[in-house]
Amino acid sequence: MSAHRDSLSAGLLWTAPWWIGFLLFLALPLGMSLYISFCDYPILQPPVWIGAENYAALARDPVFYQVLWNTALFAIVSIPICTAVAVGLAMLLNQQVRGQAFFRACIFVPNIVPLVATGIVWLWMLNPQHGLINQTIAAFGARGPNWLDTPLGVLASLVMISVWSVGSGVVVYLAGLQEIPEELYEAARLDGASRPRQFYHVTLPGISPIILFNVIVAIIGTWQIFALPFVLLKMTAGPERSAYFYTSYLYDNAFRYLKMGYASAMAWVQLLIILALTALVFWSGRRAVHYRAG
């Protein structure tokens, strides 16, 4: 018994940096935010318990429903497009061609650029008069739109930036493609399978666990989008509040309106939405995702 206690003490001591950090920087803030979500807390005064009033106020808030719709629409549009582009680029980069390492690096570079710098670069690229995109369109005799002046243009701009930043997903897909046994492709070719059928019956099942992982990461990322619309639209909500996303409204409630209790309630609702969507993806992927044995 003494030896067991000594082993437990030694284990707790060696893992102390992790569990102390977990308690101080995750468990304690989570508990405090949950408590504050049931309070009226204007930051400069002590929190006052008001029960579930913050959650009831969310249900009556039309802006809350608008940011829910804006965020959901962005997720619905951007995630499938980014997934398809990332898989396609990974398949291209998996080919044995000269300069393969250079092309792989080019795809990944946007992911190491800070989000604020990315926003500033895209502000110039989307400029209706002098931006690179509209100048390219003008070279073909057409006139480019004012990208950030319409709801559709804002959505298209954010999706373009998301596609530009798929490098990290491409790297993961590329690793998954290289793990698919070549024997499976040889067997498919012997059976007369064309390239599209090889992709559908060999490639997609082989990388399906990675698609599941990247889709879940993308869901979390899209429901937390903040920096890019903040920089692109200079702290405004965009035309018709089309760029007013969930985290933007949460930030405004917490730090502009000093309604920290309301913002904490929004944060917990956001967590529940992400957990529900993650569970839905896992459930819907039970038959579509194939895991290789051993």
Mean pLDDT across 32-47: 94
Check residue 4 and give its pLDDT. Answer: 63
Q: Do the domain assignments include residue 144? A: yes
pLDDT band of 173, cuts 50, 70, 90: very high
Q: Do the domain assignments include residue 26? A: no
For the ranges 38-47, 92-101, 150-159, the lowest mean pLDDT is seen at 92-101
**Average pLDDT, rounded, for the chain:** 90
Q: Do the domain assignments include residue 293? A: no
Check residue 27 and give its pLDDT. Answer: 92
Alpha-carbon distance of 188 to 197, in angstroms, equals 8
Mean pLDDT across 232-245: 78
Residues 6+ apart with CB under 8 A from 39: 47, 48, 49, 50, 54, 261
Per-residue 3-state assignment (H helix, E strand, C coil) for 2-62: HHHHHHHHHHHHHCHHHHHHHHHHHHHHHHHHHHHCCEECCCCCCCEECCCHHHHHHHHCH
Domain that holds residue 273: 62-284
Instruction: Give the pair of three-digit tokens for residue 212.
Output: 């599941």
Alpha-carbon distance of 218 to 212, in angstroms, equals 10
Position 167 pLDDT exceeds 70: yes
Check residue 14 and give its pLDDT. Answer: 85
pLDDT band of 235, cuts 50, 70, 90: low
* Count: domains in the chain: 1
Q: Do the domain assignments include residue 142? A: yes
Check residue 231 and give its pLDDT. Answer: 86
Position 285 pLDDT exceeds 90: no
Check residue 294 and give its pLDDT. Answer: 52
Q: Do the domain assignments include residue 31? A: no
Mean pLDDT across 156-179: 92
| Residue 114 C-alpha from the chain's centroid | 15
Check residue 269 and give its pLDDT. Answer: 97
Name the percent of the chain lying above pLDDT 90.
53
Alpha-carbon distance of 230 to 248, in angstroms, equals 8
pTM above 0.85, yes or no: yes
- Is residue 254 within 8 Å of 260, Cβ to Cβ? yes
Mean pLDDT across 276-291: 88
At residue 194, the 3 state secondary structure works out as: coil
Position 1 pLDDT exceeds 60: no
| pLDDT, tens only, 105-143 | 888 888 888 888 998 899 889 988 888 899 999 888 888
Q: Do the domain assignments include residue 14? A: no
CA distances from 117 to 42, 57, 61, 163, 214 (A): 33, 36, 34, 16, 24
Q: Do the domain assignments include residue 207? A: yes
pLDDT band of 95, cuts 50, 70, 90: confident
Alpha-carbon distance of 245 to 250, in angstroms, equals 9
Q: Do the domain assignments include residue 195? A: yes
Check residue 252 and give its pLDDT. Answer: 93
Q: What is the CATH number of the domain that holds 185?
A: 1.10.3720.10
Mean pLDDT across 199-225: 93
Mean pLDDT across 224-243: 81
Mean pLDDT across 53-70: 96
For the ranges 123-132, 163-172, 174-183, 234-243, the lowest mean pLDDT is seen at 234-243
225 — alpha (psi -120 to 50), left (phi > 0) or beta? Answer: beta
Mean pLDDT across 199-226: 93
